Structure 1
């Protein structure tokens, strides 16, 4: 699943290519996940100029001139594709046709990628929002018996972080992913806040450098611990992989356990 750094790069590249173009029409080959009817979506968006494309948590927001927003969530395997005039892309979920012939398709063979017209305002802060400060983290973790990684992954608590970057952030902060959130001391919460910002911003810069122009995919080749390319962390500790259900957690014994 694309996470915050991937989507931040995608949103910039989509904005550069599509902002200012007028949407001719929308086709919805698979509408089971759409929150309105296809006819309503077309009626609302067709003929509107796209002002910008931005990211909110794990969603891409297509912001139109009248204030309407089309949110696209790629989920696990969704992909985005540009096309000119027509396309032969398999498993399309939604197709945006802009004046001049440029188009964009969101496809997903699993058919769980989700388009939403005018999504509700999110209550949880984005992981890179200024409101996600040490005080917010301290209040969110206070008294919590849940594991720290579970809270980082909970999009109702903090938006944008997924499995890979949760592991990277916790390694950077020196906190075991199996720590109890409410047991982590204030000093380490400061380290966690700093790690969230540093890891995510560095990843955005890395993706822009190595994969410029990308609008789909997951780029993980530069990760330090959530990787199978290296048996050890950059500081020489063995990378341990623990599988729980379908999810794998990558960590080292360098990370302190709070329980």
Structure 2
């Protein structure tokens, strides 16, 4: 799933490529991906793109028509991505016969497809007059790379939450933009068990977690800055120390990276670095073995 750093890299690319262009055509190939109907998606046609922003894991393209401001908002979910073309293909997209969910053509001849692999379709596209009308954006917690997000902000978010820290970091209503991959990376950098309860963290542990979060996300954003969409996924993989590296050696201590599998995903961690050598039980609703 694209997370904050890759989405930020995508936003920066699109901002440079799209700002000042006009939308000439919008084609919906997967009607289930379109979550709004008023305004209609073709209301974007003829509108000028004035900017591209990120809200958590959402991409927001800001458009201005003759009489209103509109926002094309999309979330790439688990298996979605954006395919950019300097010269948009003229082939007709056939609903149900392609991984393409949405195609946007621009006045420069460029454009993009939103695609989604697999059978479980969960990408979401919205056309709205106010980004607050997108439920996922309305529920977002603070952005951890915003200048206003301080150590005190994190401490307040963790206070009283008797929830495993892995789940807290992934909860978009608590902290916006972090998902499965970067929560693994942040906790590895902080040398913290994914099963530690948020409310029980000491002041020193919160200090360490805040520093790990800031450094991990900043480094990841730096790694993808300036890269086109086609290279962002590989840049993400290269930067991972534990996530997606089950069976490999931890780059810090050399121990084997281990996984815990759940219904739809897994977490990766290093027992030596994060759990005092204890192995996490590999079963649903597992907890730290005692």
TM over 0.5: yes
> What secondary structure does 1:69 align onto?
strand
Q: 1:80 — aligned with what?
A: 82
Q: 2:279 — aligned with what?
A: none
Q: Distance in 1 between matches of 2:224 and 2:39?
A: 37
Q: 1:213 — aligned with what?
A: 228
Q: 1:233 — aligned with what?
A: 251
Q: Distance in 2 between matches of 1:240 and 1:256?
A: 12
Verify the 8 A CA contact 1:175 1:255 in the aligned structure 2. Answer: yes
Deviation string 1:96-121 (CA, Å, 9 cap, x unpaired) is: 11113222110124432111123325
Q: Distance in 2 between matches of 1:232 and 1:213?
A: 29
Residue-pair matches, total: 255
Verify the 8 A CA contact 1:81 1:216 in the aligned structure 2. Answer: no
Deviation string 1:100-147 (CA, Å, 9 cap, x unpaired) is: 322211012443211112332534112312232222221221121110
Q: Distance in 1 between matches of 2:116 and 2:124?
A: 9
Compared with structure 1, are the counterparts of its residues 248 and 36 closer, same or farther at alpha carbon in structure 2 (3 Å cutoff)?
closer
> C-alpha root-mean-square deviation of aligned residues, in Å?
2.3
Q: Is 1:18 paired with 2:39?
A: no
Compared with structure 1, are the counterparts of its residues 85 and 152 closer, same or farther at alpha carbon in structure 2 (3 Å cutoff)?
closer
Deviation at residue 17 of structure 1 after TM alignment: 1.3
Q: 2:274 — aligned with what?
A: 255
Verify the 8 A CA contact 1:21 1:99 in the aligned structure 2. Answer: yes
Q: Is 1:115 paired with 2:134?
A: no
Relative CO higher for 1 or 2, CA cutoff 8 Å, sep ≥ 6? 1
Q: Give structure 2 stretches of 5+ with no counterpart.
A: 277-287
Q: Distance in 2 between matches of 1:249 and 1:108?
A: 23
Verify the 8 A CA contact 1:28 1:38 in the aligned structure 2. Answer: no
Q: Select 1:192's aligned residue among 209, 216, 222.
A: 209
> What secondary structure does 1:32 align onto?
helix
Deviation at residue 38 of structure 1 after TM alignment: 8.0
Q: 1:70 — aligned with what?
A: 72
Structure-to-structure mapping, 1:118-133, within 5 angstroms: 118=128, 119-120=131-132, 121-122=137-138, 123-133=140-150
Q: Distance in 2 between matches of 1:233 and 1:18?
A: 39
Deviation at residue 256 of structure 1 after TM alignment: 5.2
Deviation at residue 32 of structure 1 after TM alignment: 2.0
Verify the 8 A CA contact 2:39 2:127 in the aligned structure 1. Answer: no
Verify the 8 A CA contact 1:79 1:217 in the aligned structure 2. Answer: no
> What secondary structure does 2:47 align onto?
coil
Q: Distance in 1 between matches of 2:184 and 2:205?
A: 16
> What secondary structure does 1:178 align onto?
coil
After TM superposition, which residue ranges in structure 1, 4 or more long, deviate above 3 angstroms?
Answer: none
Q: 1:2 — aligned with what?
A: 2
Q: 1:106 — aligned with what?
A: 114
Q: Is 1:29 paired with 2:29?
A: yes
Compared with structure 1, are the counterparts of its residues 246 and 166 closer, same or farther at alpha carbon in structure 2 (3 Å cutoff)?
same
TM-score (norm 2): 0.80
Verify the 8 A CA contact 1:241 1:248 in the aligned structure 2. Answer: yes
Verify the 8 A CA contact 1:31 1:38 in the aligned structure 2. Answer: no
